[in-house]
Structures are given as structure tokens and as C-alpha cells.
A and B are shown apart, each in its own frame.
Chain A
């Protein structure tokens, strides 16, 4: 990553005479990639040095080399890709169902005073029950299955989604646009994030 930045740096036009190192420094400091990934380089180096010096017993503190080797091993054996694709499938299933439930529910609660009155305290309460706390009962219900995982993901998505939609609809200024227009706009314009 650093080498490509150096390569692009050499052909950058200079407006005023500056030393090579300063130009390199500014170039690196303004590059997005370097800003995002650069800080990880020293951290990994320190990690490596600490592991190499065996300050902690190696069984408890492995170095980046071991982690990388293990990563490669799991990739070649096909274990990690399988796990990853499993996880992504679960995530997708959960997200799709979460959106299918959360979006309509969110706009219903946001736009109907009655729905809101009857569900708002429940929404706050259910959002407060950490998704983790659902795990025991979900496992009692579905065992260790895709359904169990999907349930927890759907649960995690739906409540914040509904609450955010309500908050979003509320922020559309009613005084300016009138209730109906405000609702219409919130329904079509705002992004469901």
C-alpha cells in the first residue's frame, strides 16, 4: 500500500519548492488509504514484537504470523469460507426478514397516532432487552438452527429500525409542509437507514 503511494507521489506536480520528504509526508497524510490502514501497521508491528519477545506465554498470546498461518490453513482447508458463507447466509436471511417486518411496522407506528400510542412503550422495552438475552429461549424453541439465528438477527434489526423511522418521520418539519405532505415525503424520500 505504501509503495503505490510513493509511486504516485513522484509524479505529483509541485507548486512551490519543497523537499521530497515533505511532499511524501503530505501525500501520505492526505491519502485516504494510508489514513485508514496506516495506523494498523505500527500496531501489528508492536503486536509482533511483543509476541516475538515472548513477554506473555506463547499459548496465551500468539503473534500475527501464527494468526496469518492459521488463516491460510483454514482458507485452504475450506473451513473458513464455509463458515463465512454460513454466517453471510444467516445475516442475509435475517436482514431480509428484518426489513420486511421493520419497514412497514416503522411507517405504521410513525404515521398512526394510535399504533404509536399502543406500541411505543413496548418498542422501547423490547429494544432494551439485549438480543443476547433472547438466545436461551430461542435455543429452547428452535435448537441451534438457522431459524434461531435468523430470529435473533431479525430481532436486533426490527426495533432500532422502527424507532429510527419514527424519529425520522418526526423530524420532517410539520409546521412548514403540513401534516399530510410531511408524511408523504417521509414515506418516499427519506432513506430507510
Chain B
């Protein structure tokens, strides 16, 4: 928060980046080496833990057979549908709640409760209501995004300075323009934070729901591999799940959050 902007940062941007990339890769390389050596020395069977090469081979096989794309594609599609549905429903709802003091007082505890409950705990009901398949998984993703996002949109509206609201109102702004030009942009930093949190829950919920409810997707491939003790596929699936989330979070959500927050004149407190 209280960090001071260091002068002359732009001048040595490129070497810094290269250095950062180098130091980002080194730990992973070291981990892979340690992993290979440990498995080699202890002679753990593949039923318990795979060798690095096994995982690479599993990756190659699944890439070649196209299975990888089926699973990754299915998972990403579900996240996309669920997240889009979540944004479309939660943002207007959250802003409406935030705009009314009574509504926000009333809904705040309900939303907090639902955020805590979102995702995995809904899987049994989702499969009961929507059957085993796509719809149940998308429901889980939507559910996780919806509550976190609604809650944060509501908080975001409440954090808009009262002077701004009064200024807009005193100039006779209509309700619809108020929504589009004051409330929505004003709560945007909080909305983006909510989206990031919600998608985090959603990603976990997705994997869990796919383990239970479908016949394709990353979670399902893990589940299937576990049945046959294919630890190489399990580890590969875990790496892909981690990487995909890292890419989504670091390359998409975090910059979006930082940019929104900075543009609104606040200091970003995210790593």
C-alpha cells in the first residue's frame, strides 16, 4: 500500500523481464530434477508416483490422440458459459441491490451465507435437479460466480462516494443513465475483484463437478485415471489444471483488476 514508486523503472524494463522470466523457470526446472532423481533413487512404482518422463509421455499421447483437447475444451467451455451467465445475471442484480440501502441490508447476510456455501456443496442438488451432464456443471460454475460477484457488485456500489451520486442526481440524471454511467463504472473495481474470487471458486467447483457429473473434462480425466491407477495422467491433469488457472488468473483477471483499480485512481494491493 505504502510502497514508493521507484524512479527509472522503465529504462531497464527488458533486462528485468528477462531476469524475471529466468527466475520464474529455474524453480520449476529444479523441482523437475529433484522429482526425477527422487523417483529414480527410491524406485517408487508408477502406481504410486510417475517419473517425469512418464508424465511427458502421457501428455504426448493425449495430445496426439486429441483426448487432451476434448477434455480441456469441455472444461473451458463450461467455465466460459457459467462465467458469462454469472456476469450477466450478477452484475445488474448486485448493482440494483447496492443502489437501495434496504435491499443491501436485507441481502448482505444472505449473500455472505451463499458465498460461503457456493460451488462444491451444491453438486448433489445440481445433479439431482439438472441430471448428470453439462447443465449441472455449468450450474455449479454459474453458482460460484453469481454469489461472489453479486456480493462484490453490491459492495462496489456502496463504496461510490456519495458526492458523485448526489451530483449526478442533482443534474437530473435519469435512472437508466445513472445505472450505466455512474453505478456500473463506479462499482467496476469491486466487480472485477468479485469476478476473480468467484472464478477461483468456480474453477474448483468445476473440477469437483466434472469428477461426479460428466463424461468429459479435466476433472473427469483425473477421475478416470484414478480408477486405473494411472498416476502419470493424474499428475499431468493436475499440472494442466494449475497452469490453466495460472494463465486465467495472472494473464487475464489480475491485469484486468489492476488496470481497473488504477484507472479509478486507487492503488492496487494485489501481487
Give the B-binding residues of A (Cβ under 8 A): 29, 35-40, 43, 60, 117-122, 124-126, 128-137, 139-141, 163, 167, 171, 173, 175
Given the contacts A136-B223, A140-B47, A35 and B109 also touching, CB distance less than 8 Å? yes
| Chain B hits for A167, CB < 8 A | 271
| Chain B hits for A119, CB < 8 A | 27
Nearest A residue to B222 by beta-carbon distance? A136
Contact A137 B234 (CB under 8 A): yes
Nearest B residue to A167 by beta-carbon distance? B271
Complex-state Cα separation, A39 to B97, whole angstroms:
14
Contact B107 A130 (CB under 8 A): no
Complex-state Cα separation, A125 to B29, whole angstroms:
13
Contact A125 B241 (CB under 8 A): no
Chain B's interface size range is 35 or more
B21 to chain A minimum Cβ distance, whole angstroms, is 10
| Chain B hits for A128, CB < 8 A | 241-243, 245-246, 249
| Chain B hits for A43, CB < 8 A | 110
| Chain B hits for A134, CB < 8 A | 238
Given the contacts A29-B105, A118-B27, A125 and B246 also touching, CB distance less than 8 Å? yes
Can you spell out 18 A-B residue pairs with CB atoms less than 8 angstroms apart?
A35-B109, A36-B109, A38-B106, A40-B109, A43-B110, A122-B27, A130-B245, A131-B204, A132-B208, A133-B207, A134-B238, A136-B222, A136-B225, A137-B235, A140-B47, A141-B48, A163-B271, A171-B2
Contact B128 A60 (CB under 8 A): yes
Q: Tell me the residues in window 93-116 of chain B with beta carbons closer than 8 Å to chain A beta carbons.
A: 105-110, 113
Q: Does B31 interact with chain A (Cβ within 8 Å)?
A: yes
A112 to chain B minimum Cβ distance, whole angstroms, is 14
Complex-state Cα separation, A167 to B3, whole angstroms:
12
Complex-state Cα separation, A38 to B102, whole angstroms:
13
B130 to chain A minimum Cβ distance, whole angstroms, is 10
Q: Tell me the residues in window 204-230 of chain B with beta carbons closer than 8 Å to chain A beta carbons.
A: 204, 207-208, 211, 219, 222-223, 225-226, 229
B253 to chain A minimum Cβ distance, whole angstroms, is 12
